Amino acid sequence: MQGSTSPEPPAAVRVERIDTVADGVTLVRTVAATVLALLSLGQGSLRLLVAAYLVYWVGDILDGHVARRLGQETRIGAVFDIVSDRTCTTLCAAAFIVTSPQVLLPITVFLVQFCVVDTMLSLTFLCFPIKSPNDFHRVDRTLYRWNWSPAAKALNTSVVVLLSVVGMPLAATACALAVLGVKVWSVRYLVTTVLPLRQQPVA
């Protein structure tokens, strides 16, 4: 009986590190924002909620900057960032609804958009030879412009929350519905136009 051996990974598979500085920043900001959001949820504290959002948003900008600056952009790091964003968003949203029940509708629409539709859309970068959704301009500039350009990302993650904070739930709901519409259109465009073109055999 021959001894069992571990199969060699395919030559095309590139093993990525998971102990980069950028991933460390993602981990720290996610844990810190999670703790602050849970404390806010338990105490009904608006001050802790603001702190949680600030840690989440500033940390999200910082980990991306560090990854680019140090040349540490990886596909596993991008997935880690996407999952961490949804964790922070969900807990902050729950605390926000507890502290300000009037934001229930816009925040609910926002959660459906960001944690369901946008998550699926963002993870489709794994179908292409790019490191993260930030590189999607190499696949399709239209999808990149509407979903992952700096302006689109700001609208996607913060405008609904900011409108809710300043006491404009109707405007926040309208904005959340508009972004949801863009995301649904983007998924349809990806499935019907971008993916079929990429799957065509080379002559």
pTM for the whole structure:
0.84
Flag whether pLDDT at 4 surpasses 70: no
d(CA 170, CA 102): 10
Please write the tens of the pLDDT for every residue from 134-167: 999 999 999 999 999 988 988 887 899 899 988 8
Q: Nearest to residue 32, comparing CAs of 66, 57, 64, 65?
A: 57
Whose tokens are 């960032």? That residue is 81
How far apart are the C-alpha atoms of 164 and 171, rounded to whole Å?
8
Q: Which residues of 25-52 are buried (b: 16+ CB within 10 A; e: fewer)?
A: bbeebbebbbebbeebbeeebeebbbbb
**Which of 112, 72, 91, 115 is closest to 32 using CA atoms?**
91
The percent of residues above 90 in pLDDT, for the chain, comes to: 70
